[in-house]
Amino acid sequence: MPIKAITPDYHGDFKDGVEKFHGNQIVNIHWEKHLMFAWPMCVPLPPAMPFGALIDGVLPGIFGAHPNFKQIDWNAVEWKTSKGPFKPDLAKSLTDNGIGHKTTISFRTPGLNGVGGNAVC
């Protein structure tokens, strides 16, 4: 049902369109079963950034403090978005991997599920 408002056909303007981020897009990244990092991390990234650069250049700054991080076998990592699982092509851009503005990427690291295997840590 459309909104009821005193102004006919009221519609708020979109506050967070991609054009407002100076060439970047918003990407949210969540490491599953590592809830010390208790929310998806929101970062502005160039859409043309290769997926491999996200792994090498962005994720260490966010998650590097976790003892599991250095043990990650990136070939075994399982990636997904709200549209389902996907296998990233590391050489291709975020856009070409289907990562758009405000996409949330979740990744799971099999065998690594928090400090001491405890997913809350």
Partner 1 sequence: MAAEGNAKPAKKLNLKENYALLTRGLGWEPSYEKKEDIFRNVDFEGVVIHDWDKWEDPFRLTMDAYWKYQGEKERKLYAIVDAFQQHNGQFNVTDARYVQALKVFINGITELEYDSHRGFNMLAREFPGVGPRIAAQMQSLDELRHATTQIHTISQYAKYFTGMNEFPYQFDRVWYLSIPKSFFEDAVTSGPFEFIVAISFAFEYVLTNLAFMPWMSGAAFNGDMATVSFGFSAQSDEARHMTLGIEVIKFLLEQDPANVPLVQKWIDKWFWRGYRLLSLLATMMDYMLPKRVMAWNEAWEIYYEQNGGALFADLARYGIKPPKRAPETIAEKGHVAHQMWSVFYANRDAVGFQMWLPSDEEMAWMSEKYPDTFDQYYRPRYEYWKAQEAAGTPFKNSTLPQLCQVCQWPCLFTESGDPTTLSLRESEYQGQTFHMCSDGCKDIFDDTPEKYVHAWLPVHQIYQGNCFLPGVDPTAPDFNPMVEALRYMGIKPGVDNGDFKGSADATNWEKWTSRPANIHEGAYTDAVRDTASTADVTARKAG
List contacts with partner 1 (CB under 8 A).
Answer: 1-6, 10-17, 20-22, 24, 26, 28, 30, 32-33, 35-44, 61-62, 65, 82, 100-104, 106, 115-116, 118-121
Sequence-ordered alpha helix ranges (H) in the chain: 51-53, 59-63
Closest to partner 1 by CB, 48 or 91:
48
Least CB distance from residue 107 to partner 1, whole Å? 13
Tell me the closest approach of the beta carbon of residue 100 to partner 1, in angstroms.
Answer: 7
Distance CA 42, CA 29 (A): 7
Nearer to partner 1, 6 or 75 (CB): 6
Separation between Cα atoms, residue 41 and residue 111, nearest integer Å? 22
> At closest approach, how far in Å is the CB of 91 from partner 1?
25
What is the spatial distance between Cα 50 and Cα 96, in angstroms, rounded to a whole number? Answer: 9
Compute the least distance from the CB of residue 50 to partner 1, in Å: 20
User: Please, which residue, 92 or 101, has the CB nearer to partner 1?
Assistant: 101
- Whether 44 and 25 have beta carbons less than 8 Å apart is answered as yes
Residues 6+ apart with CB under 8 A from 10: 3
- E-strand ranges in 49-99 read 78-81, 84-86
For partner 1, the closer of residues 76 and 102 by Cβ is 102
